[in-house]
Structures are given as C-alpha cells and as structure tokens.
Amino acid sequence: SAALGQANAVGNLAVKAMGTGSSASNGFLFQNTTGKPLTVSTVDGVVGISTKGGNVTLQTDSLNIVQALDVRGVTTSSVFISPTTSTRKINVGTEDASSLSLTQTELNFLSTGPTGLLRVGDALNTGGISLTTNVAPGANLTSLSLKTGSGITQVAGTSLGFKNLAVESGSGAVSLVGTNTETGLLAAKTAGSFTYTYGGGGAADLAVDTLDGIDGVNSGGNAIALSATGAISLNKAVNSG
C-alpha cells in the first residue's frame, strides 16, 4: 500500500498500485492541501487510478475525475472521498466551485468490488452533503455511503439510483428517495428523523441490514419512515428510541 497523506499540492494524479496480484494490501491514500483542486487524469503514461483490490482514499477540497478509478480485484474493495477542509460542503450531482463535487459523469468512472462501496464524506465533515440532481452508479458500482457530522439534504424531485445505501448524519432530519428496482440494502444512523422511499416502478424489495459499519436504522429517538414498492425485510433492528 501507499500513503501520501501530508497535505500535498498536486494538480493531476494517476496511480497504479498493483502489487503482485489482487490484494487488499494494494491500497492508496492521498491528501491534497486545503483549497488545491485535484484531477484524476493521465500522468507519465499512467491512466487514472487502479489498485487491483486495494481501497482508495482521496482527501481533497475539489475533485475532477476524467479517467477510471478502479479498485476491483477484492470483493470488498472500496473508494472513500472526503474534503480536506472539514467545513467544506459536499455536492453530489452538480459541479459547484464552493463544494467538493461529484457529478454523474465522474460516478461513471468509478469501479469497486462487488460488495465494496463509494463513501462520500466522513464524520469530521461539518459542511454537510447535498444531493442536487438525479445520480446513479456506473456499471461497476452498486453501493453508496453518505457520511457527515452535519446534515444531508436532497433537492425535491431528484433521486438516488443506487441499489444499496448507508447514511450517517450528525444533525437534522434526513429524507431521501431511491429509485433502483433491484433488491437493495439500507443502513442509517441519524441525529434527526429519517425517511427513505425505495423503488421506482416494478417490484423493489428493501432489506434493513449492515452496510459500511452501520447496523440497521437508528434515528436517535426521532421518527423513522421506510417505504418500498416491494417487500421490506428487517435483517437488523429499526430503532427510533
């Protein structure tokens, strides 16, 4: 594995951390300094980021992905993206100069392991996460984890097309709409009420389970409302107390 976590000032980044085969030890961590935009691109003949099974962690206040970011090789291999500055806002869906943004075009470049995930944000973030337009995973991404010490909001009329969703927020009510039509998993830990509507046309079953270290759904004593176009299975507890 390789870790470059000391406030670097890099504009363009490409990485090939392959080891001798598929392995979780092929991981890569990179932190850019506060305010320095980072682009995953082509550098010296290396195209994008590939690890053959190792997790990739990128910490940067602004990110542009124009080449593949591929961690496939181990079942659980995942991608973690968060801002360097804890107060930085996160925008999922729309390019925004004042936020760490991930657009649909950039999501299409991401590939994780079959049970791996994309985690956006972290517990130290106080800027919050906004879902501002319809977003869905690319061909090799099924699970999304949204994590912030602040709140999570979704613009009315937009939807998440991810099969599996983990949510962790430190303040406010969270109300989300998911439109995937496959059987999906849900795990959530919120400080306010939590509402999740799952499935867009056709039967879409939802299972409350464990995802990204979160067991079941817990809203810290606030209301919980779950609905799906198919069945809802409680493999883990739903707790509003």
Arithmetic mean of pLDDT, 163-181:
95
pLDDT at res. 22: 77
Q: What is the pLDDT of residues 223-238, one digit of tens each?
A: 999 999 999 999 999 9
pLDDT at res. 25: 86
Q: Is the pLDDT of residue 203 over 90?
A: no
Q: What is the pLDDT of residues 45-56, one digit of tens each?
A: 999 999 999 999
Q: What is the average pLDDT value for the chain, to the nearest integer?
A: 95
Q: Is the pLDDT of residue 110 over 70?
A: yes
Range with the lowest mean pLDDT among 6-20, 118-132, 157-171, 210-224?
Answer: 6-20
Residue whose token pair is 């996460």: 129
pLDDT at res. 180: 92
Query: Residues 25, 2: contact at Cβ < 8 Å?
Result: no
pLDDT at res. 98: 96
In the structure, what pLDDT confidence band is assigned to residue 18 with cuts at 50, 70 and 90? confident
Alpha-carbon dihedral angle through residues 200, 68, 211, 199, given to the nearest 10 degrees = 0
Arithmetic mean of pLDDT, 113-141:
96
Nearest alpha carbon to residue 67 among 31, 108, 21, 26: 108
Q: What is the pLDDT of residues 79-107, one digit of tens each?
A: 999 999 999 999 999 999 999 999 999 99
Determine the Cα–Cα distance for residues 136 and 219; give it in Å rounded to an integer.
25
In the structure, what pLDDT confidence band is assigned to residue 20 with cuts at 50, 70 and 90? low
pLDDT at res. 24: 81
For the chain, the straight-line distance linking the first and the last C-alpha, in angstroms and rounded, comes to 41
Residue whose token pair is 């657009």: 103
